[in-house]
Amino acid sequence: MIDPRITCCYLYTISKYGYPPAAEDTLKYLDEYKSLGFQSVELEGIRKDHLEKVYKIRNQIAVRIKELKLEVPYFCIVLPGLSSADANERKENLELFRKGCEIAHLLGSKGVLDNAPLPPYQFPDDIPVVRHYHEDVILSAKFPKDLNWKNYWDQMVETYREACDIASEYNLTYQMHPALGVLSATTDAFLYFHDAVGRDNLRFNFDTANQYFLKDNLQLSLRRLADYIDYIHISDNGGNRVEHLAIGDGVIRWEDFFETLDLINFKGHFGIDIGGSESVVEDLDAAYKNAAKFLENKI
């Protein structure tokens, strides 16, 4: 069996079944993770409809996790509406966030995870719900004409304080995932956001591929974020676009990366986060198994 510090991310399921994958098939996904040899897995509730479907079958999921002797250290609550410019939408998403925290608590998770705040972009109506917006789409986005940035920032920060406090009620950390176009995608941006929110359980979900693409020096970033990292998403990247490649298929300097992890005495979890429609991965199962062996040799 694979070391329980090594987690199979939900991107495995997304890569196989699309985004978002059917919530009602979650028990099947758990069986697939187990068949790969993982003891630690990631699950998600993606926006309102998907999250509420997961919430509805949360007790069945908890039973199956116990039967399979699995752990779910982090449950992902994907709610871009938390950073909406609309107060009612933020309120609705905080209520959904609480449901996500209930699921995470039931599953025995250490924390919940979401993409960092998405600015109040206005996209054309035909832009689909996706994990990552392409760079040209981000650059073409507009903003509400009546947007007052200071007011928006203050209200959005207060919403994330409330989310952190909700997570704290369930003894959970709140992990911010970096990605292209979000408000705390880099080391500097997260530290600025963390200072604004002012909550100790606000953490940074280090993502090797996304940060490498965003030119965030991984070795320096690890040193600067050492006190804020519990969970690292591992995948490779070529440096030119958003992609989550199998280990060795990109250009990340892994020896330097793990040497720095030793220096900061990292003891948290690693999530294998390979795949997605933006990535070329010839054999998904082999990529995850090989990455697990690679990580086991490193930790």
Task: Give the pLDDT band (50/70/90) at residue 128.
Answer: low
Q: What confidence tens digit (pLDDT) does each residue in 147-156 have? A: 999 999 999 9
Range 101-113 average pLDDT = 98
Q: What confidence tens digit (pLDDT) does each residue in 216-248 have? A: 999 999 999 999 999 999 999 999 999 999 999
Q: Quick one: pLDDT at residue 281?
A: 96
- Directed axis angle between helix 26-36 and helix 58-68, to 10°? 20
What's phi and psi for 28, nearest 5 deg? -65, -40
Question: How far is the C-alpha of 294 from the C-alpha of 299, rounded, in Å?
Answer: 9
Query: What radius of gyration, in Å, describes the C-alpha atoms of the chain?
Result: 18
> Which of 60-74, 140-154, 159-173 has the lowest average pLDDT?
140-154
Q: Quick one: pLDDT at residue 129?
A: 55
Range 36-40 average pLDDT = 98
pLDDT of residue 141 exceeding 90: no
What's phi and psi for 115, nearest 5 deg? -60, 145
Range 163-182 average pLDDT = 97
Domain ranges of the chain: 6-298
Q: What confidence tens digit (pLDDT) does each residue in 180-215 have? A: 999 999 999 999 999 999 999 999 999 999 999 999
Task: Give the pLDDT band (50/70/90) at residue 104.
Answer: very high
Question: How far is the C-alpha of 213 from the C-alpha of 199, rounded, in Å?
Answer: 28
Nearest residue to 131 (alpha-carbon basis) of 287, 254, 271, 21:
21
Q: Quick one: pLDDT at residue 248?
A: 97
What's phi and psi for 214, nearest 5 deg? -80, 5
Nearest residue to 165 (alpha-carbon basis) of 92, 230, 98, 249:
98
What are the start-end ranges of the H helices in 39-142?
A: 47-56, 58-68, 87-106, 135-140
| CATH superfamily of the 6-298 domain | Divalent-metal-dependent TIM barrel enzymes (3.20.20.150)
